[in-house]
A and B are shown apart, each in its own frame.
Chain A
């Protein structure tokens, strides 16, 4: 393994006592103090995250939208300038290479955000898929920092960084899954109302060389509002409560969008890589479907734990699980044989083998947590 890459904010994290971890080849803050306190801060006020490990790939040219329509399962050409869309990059057999958020910056310009662990794969696949289109593709990951402010106070926090009522109104008016160019603390950024926590929040893209002053401004405003610096540990429990899949856990090359409950993002009425396989998959019941489970007590089911039916037969496997910090009981996502699940989807009793102990879990629709 090579040495993990530092983000542009590495020294700031160290100075604030972050516990750093190697995540997808990057040296990332796992937490600053307590991951439970950071989780709660995002649910009640706000948390400030460094997500500079995420990949940023820019597509520019008259056929940028058409190229993405061919490369991804969704119709990216149909989204308006200033809007974002969640989509998937699938292979020819319909397996998921990555899940992505794509922003339309201009008529001819898109910014694709890849998971850190998949940035190289996404860049390679997109480059190959768009070569017959009139579009330029650039990997801007190394030159770009991504900071996220997430939580109910995030709008007020971001508004602290602008000087005029007009700018404050523009921030308030920015819709979920929309983006706009902005000046925050005098710095030029792309401000997006997106996130991975189940709360209102903003993701802020900025040149790597300006990440530190932006972080300092956001940190001051976040802490003044009662929020905290937040690491990847709480990001995982936040996204799990919000029922958001994580690549490598819920999503993989062995998973189709239909099995993962993401059939809604697939636009079969246009040609794209993987369309044929996915058109066939859409006609069948998947062998396993992503399913929410909740337990009682405090003992969490974890990724890899077998799921059994009442008769003791293995019917699935846990992909993510934790004791939900917000709800106080165990929650999990699992791939389960749909034949083992009551069609109503609720109240079905299963068991999870937690290191040799069978614990009861109920099938529960996810998201487990929805902001009020």
Chain B
């Protein structure tokens, strides 16, 4: 499945809703998981997200995603303060895979700086 070109990606299979080439915005932006990550994980049954108000660091683990068989760390694509978490996916983790690039977002962060991020094209070359 195509990864939307309107955002950037990490090598750890997260997306962050930052337009390629644009300045970092002052408002919080959404972070989510790619279909490639979700396909590899299997059905997600539990998500541990950072708390609202916590500072996350680009490239560092900030939570966990569990499937029936495995646990994966969630890495933050950006350094900044967490503004909101998606309670809907905490309550029903199946919503993540149902709509990974929109309604299945995980949390929002007000980005101060980012990890090395990839365009959709670069990310798809990485997972090809």
Task: Mark A residues whose CB is within 8 Å of B.
Answer: 19, 30-31, 34-37, 39, 233-234, 236-237, 298-300, 302, 322-323, 325, 355
Contacts and interface: CB of A to CB of B under 8 A. Distances in A.
A31 B71 CA distance: 17
Interface in B76-120: 94
Query: Secondary structure of the A side of the interface?
Result: mixed
B18 interface: no
A300 B43 contact: no
A361 to B, nearest CB: 15
A236 B67 CA distance: 13
A355 B68 contact: no
B42 A35 contact: yes
A335 to B, nearest CB: 21
B98 to A, nearest CB: 11
A323 B48 contact: no
A302 B70 CA distance: 9
A300 B46 contact: yes
A322 B68 contact: yes
Nearest to B44: A36
Chain B, interface size category, equals 10 to 19
B48 A36 contact: no
A233 B68 contact: yes
Contacts of B64: 355
B42 A31 contact: yes
B68 A302 contact: no
Interface in B24-57: 39, 42-43, 45-46, 48
B66 interface: yes
Nearest to B46: A298
A302 B71 contact: yes
A300 B71 CA distance: 9
A355 B67 CA distance: 15
Nearest to A322: B68
Contacts of A355: 64, 71
A323 B48 CA distance: 14
A309 B60 CA distance: 32
Contact of A233 (B39, B42, B46): B42
Contacts of A37: 43
A298 B46 CA distance: 6
